[in-house]
Amino acid sequence: MHPILKLIAQRLALGLLLLLAASVLIFAGTSILPGDVAQSILGQSATPEALANLRRELGLNDPAVTRYFAWLGGVLQGDLGTALTNGRDIAESLGGRLKNTLFLAFWAAAISVPLAIFLGLLAVRYKDRWPDKLISAVTLTTISIPEFMIGYVLIYWVAIKWRMFPSVSIINESMTLGAKLNAIAIPVMVLTLVVLAHMMRMTRAAILNVMQSAYIETAELKGLGMLKIIRKHAFPNAIAPIVNVVMLNLAYLVVGVVVVEVVFAYPGMGQYLVDHVSKRDVPVVQACGLIFAAVYIGLNLVADIVSILANPRLRHPK
């Protein structure tokens, strides 16, 4: 087998093992949550007989291992279970929520990724001069502030003071694309500011690392301009680490939107998860946790595979 195919197969197998381990941790974590699921469903006035019947019906009296494999078997068949609070199918409820979360993450990525790469290239071009220092100072400031704080500051200025965009990001299928983008403008700003610094700094560091190579010195001796050297020689050879950090931040955009969705009452998976954690709806929490874990592990796998494919030593082992 070609070395590159062998490495990809190993990464895929490792990803599956990590997802299996994540499912075990999610199930174990939700199983040890304090409180009684049956009590939370029936209320404090429920009789002991009603509680016992509901526990038996939900399988809560079965051993944890039996309940885990029953849940995992359902997940492998596409059955995420039924919500305890309203009896609705979790997969159907999560479909629209996941779509909304991906919609928000997509537009945040569409703005933050090109902007981060551009600022990273600009910082390299003016290394140790005022543009580089200004970009670093601003981006490091934004990454040091919690998301909810940035969100509340933007709500105060952008939504209340300047009245440019709404403070609550409610979207539905009947809205046009323009109306949806107007509704999510402030959450997109928050997510962009949060992930921008990390991607910009890694882009800058990766390109500066390549700039120390011998072939860059050769290009300089040939009289090539700095912009041309960065564009044609440094940036293409720094793609692998840049792709890695971009994928990690894309994973964060999907998985780490919980706080932002709660702040802006956005109807995504994060808001859905928080609502059902407070109700101790364990099947919903397990399903959301497993989807978040799958997205995070999947995007990290993509980053690993891109890094493997971008490595010329692996593409041409001889």
DSSP string, 202-256: HHHHHHHHHHTSHHHHHHHHTT--HHHHIIIIIHHHTHHHHHHHHHHHHHHHHHT
Taking 3-state DSSP, the helix, strand and coil percentages for the chain, each rounded to the nearest 5, stand at 75, 0, 20
14-28, 157-171, 232-246: least confidently modelled range:
232-246
Residues 56/67, Cβ–Cβ less than 8 Å: no
Contacts of 265 (CB under 8 A, 6+ apart): 168, 169, 170, 271
What integer pLDDT is reported at residue 315 of this predicted model?
Answer: 60
Q: Is residue 215 part of a domain?
A: yes
> Is 159's pLDDT higher than 90?
yes
Q: Is residue 242 part of a domain?
A: yes
89 - beta bridge partners? 82
Model confidence at 143, pLDDT cuts 50, 70, 90, reads confident
> What phi, psi does 260 have (nearest 5°)?
-65, -40
The CATH number covering residue 159 comes to: 1.10.3720.10
Model confidence at 312, pLDDT cuts 50, 70, 90, reads low
- By three-state DSSP, how is residue 9 classified? helix
DSSP track, 253-314: HHHTTHHHHHHTT--SHHHHHHHHHHTT-HHHHHHHHHHHHHHHHHHHHHHHHHHHHH-HHH
SS3 string, 70-82, reads HHHHHHHCCCCCE
Q: Is residue 6 part of a domain?
A: no
Helices vs strands, H then E, count in the chain:
17, 0
What integer pLDDT is reported at residue 205 of this predicted model?
Answer: 87
Q: Is residue 306 part of a domain?
A: yes
> Is 87's pLDDT higher than 80?
no
Mean pLDDT of 249-270: 88
Model confidence at 51, pLDDT cuts 50, 70, 90, reads confident
What integer pLDDT is reported at residue 314 of this predicted model?
Answer: 60
What is the DSSP secondary structure assignment for residue 89, as one 8-state letter? B
Q: Is residue 38 part of a domain?
A: no
Q: What is the Cα–Cα distance from 235 to 242, expressed in whole angstroms?
A: 9
Contacts of 269 (CB under 8 A, 6+ apart): 94, 97, 98, 100, 101, 257, 261, 288, 291, 292
Range of the domain at 243: 90-315
10 Å Cβ neighbour count for 212? Answer: 9
> Is 181's pLDDT higher than 90?
yes
Q: Is residue 16 part of a domain?
A: no
Integer angstrom CA distances of residue 122 from 48, 119, 194, 200, 201: 68, 5, 19, 10, 11
Q: Is residue 50 part of a domain?
A: no
> Is 255's pLDDT higher than 90?
no
What integer pLDDT is reported at residue 155 of this predicted model?
Answer: 94
Mean pLDDT of 269-273: 90
Q: What is the Cα–Cα distance from 94 to 158, expressed in whole angstroms?
A: 31
Mean pLDDT of 124-140: 89
Model confidence at 316, pLDDT cuts 50, 70, 90, reads low
Q: Is residue 80 part of a domain?
A: no
Structural domain total, the chain: 1
Model confidence at 249, pLDDT cuts 50, 70, 90, reads confident
> Is 318's pLDDT higher than 60?
no
What integer pLDDT is reported at residue 1 of this predicted model?
Answer: 66
